[in-house]
Amino acid sequence: MEREEVKNKLEEIIKPYVQDMEAFGNISETTDLLQDLKINSAHLIDIVLDVEEAFDIEIDDESVEKMITVKDSVDTILACVTAAV
């Protein structure tokens, strides 16, 4: 799975939870999910569950804690997808 494909799919997943749509319009790999997009921590769990379902993976708690930015999240997803193969 290509990195850009994962990033695009992640953006689709997080969009309903974003509180700052202007920041979402300028999303990049350095975008912080909680600080920049104003996603609350409870919704972050929903996002993780949605990601697990969309990519058919399991993300352990340690990896979830590292999903701070878009880049971190994409890296985590790619690592889980690779491990699942």
User: 5-39, pLDDT tens digit by residue?
Assistant: 999 999 999 999 999 999 999 999 999 999 999 99
* pTM exceeds cut of 0.75: yes
User: Cα angle vertex 6, ends 46, 14, to 5°?
Assistant: 30
Here the CATH number for the domain that contains residue 11 is 1.10.1200.10
**Cα-based distances in Å from 64 to 15, 22, 23, 26, 60:** 18, 25, 22, 23, 6
What are the structure tokens assigned to 66, written together? 């590292």
What are the structure tokens assigned to 3, written together? 């990195």
In the chain, the number of structural domains is 1
The pLDDT value recorded for residue 16 is 97
Residue span of the structural domain in which 54 resides:
3-84
3-class DSSP assignment, residue 32: strand
Q: For 42-80, what is each residue's pLDDT tens digit?
A: 999 999 999 999 999 999 999 999 999 999 999 999 999
